[in-house]
Structures are given as C-alpha cells and as structure tokens.
C-alpha cells in the first residue's frame, strides 16, 4: 500500500500544498499530534500541524507512534527510514530495535513532512504495550529533551459517521483537559502515545490545543464506516 506519493516531484508538490497553511499561533510550539492515514485522507489535517514547525528553535525531532504490525512490550527504535526525499538514520543507542517494524506507517508517514521542513536529527520511536509507570517514565525522559516532539495517532475506527464524531469529540476533550480520570475512554489506535503526551504536558505545564478534526467520511463521503483524524499543538 502506498500511503503517500512515491514519486519525488509529486511528493514535494503534495507536501508544499499541505504545508501552505498559515495558522496564527502566538505561543511557542513544543510539539504536535498528527494523524497517520494515507495522505489523501489525513495529509491536509497533518500538514496544518506540521506548518507550525517552520519557525522552531531546533532541528531535532522525536516521533512516537503506535505499532500496527508487531505486538511487543515497551518502545522500539526505527533506525532507518527511506522515503523519496532520502534516508533518515537515527543514531540513538538507548532504544532497542525490533524486527518487523521497518514499515510502521504511524512513523513513516510523518517523515516526509519533517524532511521537507529541514529537520536533521530524528529519533523515531514505535510504542508498544506499556504500564502506567512506564508511560510516566517515557514522559519524564521526553521532558528533558531539547527536541520537537511529534505524536502520531488516528482516532476512532470503523464507526458510523455520527457515532464517530461523538466518540472523537470525547477523546479530544480528554486530551485538551488532560483528563486522566477518563483516559480509559480514549478511542484511538495511538492511545499509549496520547497518554505519554498527556503526562508530558502535565510535567511541562503545556496545554494541548485542537487544530482540526475530520473523519474519513468528510473526505470520501462514505459515512457508513469511518476513521477519525485530529491534529493538535502543544
């Protein structure tokens, strides 16, 4: 499956379009939350968030996304990722590699945006099963890094259009309010990355703010079974 254009010129043209948004955000951007579906479905929503990183203070980025293909406990490093814009290599030695994660789209789909924006140092992390204690540990580690942090997740999956909106609005509210008491109600494939985000925001006193929400029914007009997409900044 091709999640984004594999032709370099076509990909650059697509990225330029998605990154053209001019959002007026007055606060410093520490990171973003973005969807990871095919670009035709969620690329515009992700692009609005990525456009906020044009004036960041660092060229280092940490990306965290859920595992779709391999079940494991903990976190794992994607050491090499190749896109039409070139190869990304992570030099981090503290995070283990796990075989089978090489094509994890929750991570890979974010890389072309970051390459186009000129980031130079990448730490792509696939997130597996975690205890609440480990989620807090990872958030504490992130709080000490001098990097932009990108969290990758889609929201509810394969629900009728109106029910998806209801579920996704609940998830969005929990994220924005850092509502840990209701965190079990989060409906997202990247639930653990989102819990890490929430703990990071609590530590650093960041406030996640919604940029845009849509679901696949808004794009395809097929509203019988949809997937939710949202982007945030913090």
Per-residue pLDDT tens digits for 138-163: 999 999 999 999 999 999 999 999 99
CB-based contact 167:187 (threshold 8 Å): yes
pLDDT interval class at 101 (50, 70, 90)? very high
Q: What is the mean pLDDT of residues 100-104?
A: 91
Say what percent of the chain tops pLDDT 70: 100
Which residues 6+ apart lie within 8 Å of 216 measured at CB? 37, 41, 222, 226, 227, 228, 229
Contact 138, 201 (CB under 8 A): no
Q: Domains in the chain: how many in total?
A: 1
* Residue 92's pLDDT band (cuts 50, 70, 90): confident
Whether the predicted pLDDT of 87 surpasses 80: yes
Is residue 198 domain-resident?
yes
pLDDT for 104: 96
Confidence at residue 24, expressed as pLDDT on a 0 to 100 scale: 87
Residue 219 token pair: 């794009």
More confident residue, 175 or 100: 175
Instruction: Note whether residue 13 is domain-resident.
Output: no
Q: At what angle do helices 132-143 and 191-204 cross, to 10 degrees?
A: 50
Provide, for the chain, the percentages of residues in helix, strand and coil under a 3-state DSSP scheme, each rounded to the nearest 5: 40, 25, 40
Residue range 21-35: average pLDDT?
94
> Contact at 8 Å (CB) between 233 and 29?
yes
What per-residue confidence (pLDDT) applies to 93? 83
Report residue 184's pLDDT band, with 50, 70 and 90 as the boundaries. Answer: very high
Q: Is 58 part of any domain?
A: yes
Q: Three-state DSSP class for 211?
A: strand
- Within 8 A by CB and 6+ apart from 95, the residues are 75, 76, 77, 123, 125
- Quick check: is 65 in a domain? yes
| Least confident among 31-35, 99-103, 168-172 | 99-103
pLDDT at 191 over 90: yes
- The answer to whether residue 139 sits within a structural domain is yes
- As a whole number, mean pLDDT of residues 48-63 equals 96
Model confidence at 1: pLDDT above 80 = no
Task: Tell me the whole-structure pTM to 2 decimals.
Answer: 0.96
Q: List, in sequence order, every residue forming a beta bridge with 82; answer none if it has no partner.
A: 87
157 burial type by CB count under 10 A (0-12 exposed, 13-18 middle, 19+ buried):
middle
Q: What is the pLDDT of residue 148?
A: 98
CATH of the domain at 72: 3.40.830.10
C-alpha triplet 79, 83, 86: angle, nearest 5°: 80
How large is the average pLDDT for residues 55-75? 96
Report the Cα 148 to chain-centroid distance in Å: 12
Residue 109 counted as domain residue: yes
Structure tokens at 196: 């890490």
pLDDT tens readout for residues 121-140: 999 999 999 999 999 999 99
- Domain containing residue 118: 28-233
Q: Is there a domain that residue 23 lies in?
A: no
């Amino acid at each position: 499956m091709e999640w984004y254009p594999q032709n370099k010129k076509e990909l650059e043209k697509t990225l330029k379009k998605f990154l053209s948004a001019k959002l007026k955000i007055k606060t410093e951007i520490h990171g973003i939350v973005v969807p990871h579906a095919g670009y035709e479905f969620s690329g515009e929503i992700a692009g609005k968030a990525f456009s906020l990183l044009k004036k960041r203070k660092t060229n280092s980025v940490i990306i965290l996304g859920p595992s779709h293909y391999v079940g494991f406990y903990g976190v794992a490093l994607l050491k090499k990722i190749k896109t039409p814009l070139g190869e990304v290599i992570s030099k981090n030695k503290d995070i283990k590699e796990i075989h089978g994660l090489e094509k994890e789209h929750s991570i890979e789909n974010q890389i072309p945006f970051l390459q186009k924006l000129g980031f130079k140092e990448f730490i792509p992390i696939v997130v597996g099963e975690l205890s609440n204690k480990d989620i807090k540990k990872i958030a504490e580690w992130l709080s000490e890094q001098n990097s932009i942090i990108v969290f990758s997740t889609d929201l509810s999956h394969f629900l009728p259009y109106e029910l998806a909106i209801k579920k996704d609005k609940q998830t969005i509210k929990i994220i924005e309010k850092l509502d840990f008491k209701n965190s079990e109600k989060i409906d997202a494939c990247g639930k653990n990355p989102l819990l890490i985000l929430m703990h990071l925001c609590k530590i650093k006193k960041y406030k996640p703010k919604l940029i845009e929400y849509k679901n696949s029914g808004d794009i395809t007009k097929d509203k019988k079974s949809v997937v939710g997409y949202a982007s945030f900044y913090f």
